[in-house]
């Protein structure tokens, strides 16, 4: 099983600890209902399981209940590997201790948290049975200054306190609403949203990036006008209206760039999302490397969601074709959907291109791209790559470089 991000960009909190340390009981206490299976039998939780709950002052979060970090045997080793995978998609780790046990399983987990830049703190659970001892506090201090909280699921005040501790340790950006284009528009500015309707468009609704951008425009008191790319010319001619900004689906970049006046800022939904929560600096640096690709180079295409594939699919059909046509080279492509493991070693790739990432978090995108950026492999984004091969990379990013 590969953990995947849900359809909403909720805070993800992983619960880690030894078998029978009370991880599931902690989740139930926070949720104020029995949503996780609790048993005195060690190893009840075998694979990471996601639970959606509401925490006062934070909102909706995903709690990930994991298998014991001290699991044993061949099957136990596989369970620990699944637990480790959870570190790649979470924003905060709660490390649960019990019976004052602190040793190699915990210190190993600390190292893994630091590897993925995951903030963490400790909870000493079941303190009604065995209170937290000074020796345990001192052991924890040797490896971390994140603190340790004495906790019992039987004490209501402990549950309220742990929520405050969670808020204290969550990255600031997770508690703040991040704007998509609020810094690009002012009150009453008209934003043209260009949304092609083809076989890739979902029946009867708009795709998530379009909905997210629309809501952000409204949140910042802008005026949104939505139309298809085939209606742009008539709209501009018949109304005489000049928008402050035009945003297009990346696949229509080529046509739209010819129809939108040069003095109107133009970008794409994918580029806006890439700036909001992607590795934008590395994207800007890596995208021009497209011109340096050679015959036989292998490109890794990272999609964040899974969907049916059609002949008009952007990441699997159109963008690979555009890249081959632009470079004049015969390139090879691997497509990885969701947060699945890579089919090859990262060093086998000449470039990595990430989708807009509308269904995953900033942290998950950075962790997804980290092996490539650490290895010095150029990374790009669907929207930026499409803009580049259509010769409008400069125009599509100009507004962000002022």
The domain ranges of the chain are 11-175, 190-272+395-400, 281-393
Q: Which CATH homologous superfamily contains domain 11-175?
A: P-loop containing nucleotide triphosphate hydrolases (3.40.50.300)
CA distance 69 to 312: 44
- pLDDT at position 116, please? 87
b/e map 55-74, b = 16+ CB within 10 Å: beebeebbbbbbbbbbbeee
In CATH, the number for domain 190-272+395-400 is 3.40.50.11420
- CA dist 207 and 202 (Å) reads 7
Tell me whether domains 190-272+395-400 and 281-393 share a fold.
yes
pLDDT digits (tens, 9 = 90+) for 140-159: 999 999 989 999 988 878 88
What's CA 110's distance to the chain center, in Å?
22
**pLDDT at position 50:** 85
Rounded CA gap, 336 and 321, in Å?
17
pLDDT of the residue at 155: 83
- Torsion over CA: 149, 171, 68, 54 (sign): positive
Contacts of 51 (CB under 8 A, 6+ apart): 27, 31, 35, 36, 62, 63, 64, 65
Q: Under CATH, to which class is 281-393 assigned?
A: alpha beta
The pLDDT, as a whole number, for residue 7 is 39
Task: For tokens 């340390």, name the residue.
Answer: 21
Beta bridge partners of 352: 300, 379
- Residue 390: per-residue pLDDT: 92
- Collect the ranges in the chain with pLDDT lower than 70: 1-9, 34-47, 173-177, 198-202, 305-312, 339, 402
């Amino acid at each position: 099983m590969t953990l995947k991000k849900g359809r909403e960009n909720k805070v993800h909190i992983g619960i880690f600890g030894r078998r029978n340390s009370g991880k599931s009981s902690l989740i139930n206490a926070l949720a104020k209902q029995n949503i996780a299976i609790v048993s005195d039998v060690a190893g009840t939780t075998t694979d990471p399981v996601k639970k959606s709950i509401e925490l006062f002052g934070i909102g909706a979060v995903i709690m990930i209940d994991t298998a014991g970090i001290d699991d044993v045997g061949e099957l136990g080793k596989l369970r620990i590997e699944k637990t480790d995978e959870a570190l790649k998609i979470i924003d905060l780790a709660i490390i649960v201790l019990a019976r004052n046990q602190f040793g190699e399983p915990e210190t190993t987990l600390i190292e893994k948290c630091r590897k993925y830049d995951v903030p963490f703190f400790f909870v000493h659970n079941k303190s009604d049975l065995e209170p937290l001892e000074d020796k345990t506090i001192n052991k924890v201090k040797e490896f971390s200054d994140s603190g340790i909280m004495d906790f019992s699921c039987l004490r209501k005040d402990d549950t309220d306190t742990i929520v405050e501790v969670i808020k204290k340790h969550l990255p600031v950006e997770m508690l703040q609403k991040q704007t998509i284009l609020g810094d690009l528009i002012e009150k009453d500015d008209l934003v043209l949203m260009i949304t092609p309707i083809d076989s890739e468009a979902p029946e009867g609704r708009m795709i998530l990036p379009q909905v997210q951008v629309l809501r952000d425009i409204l949140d910042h008191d802008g005026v949104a006008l939505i139309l298809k790319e085939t209606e742009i010319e008539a709209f501009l001619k018949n109304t005489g209206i000049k928008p402050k900004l035009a945003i297009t689906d990346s696949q229509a970049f080529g046509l739209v760039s010819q129809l939108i006046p040069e003095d109107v800022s133009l970008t794409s939904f994918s580029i806006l999302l890439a700036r909001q929560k992607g590795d934008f600096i590395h994207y800007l640096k890596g995208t021009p490397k497209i011109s340096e690709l050679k015959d036989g180079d292998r490109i890794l295409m990272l999609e964040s969601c899974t969907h049916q594939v059609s002949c008009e699919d952007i990441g699997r059909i159109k963008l690979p074709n555009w890249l081959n046509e632009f470079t004049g080279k015969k390139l090879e492509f691997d497509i990885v959907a969701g947060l699945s493991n890579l089919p090859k070693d990262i060093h086998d790739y000449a470039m990595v291109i990430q989708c807009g990432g509308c269904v995953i978090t900033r942290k998950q995108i950075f962790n997804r791209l980290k092996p490539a950026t650490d290895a010095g492999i150029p990374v790009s984004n669907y929207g930026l790559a499409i803009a580049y091969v259509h010769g409008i990379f400069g125009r599509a990013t100009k507004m962000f470089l002022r």
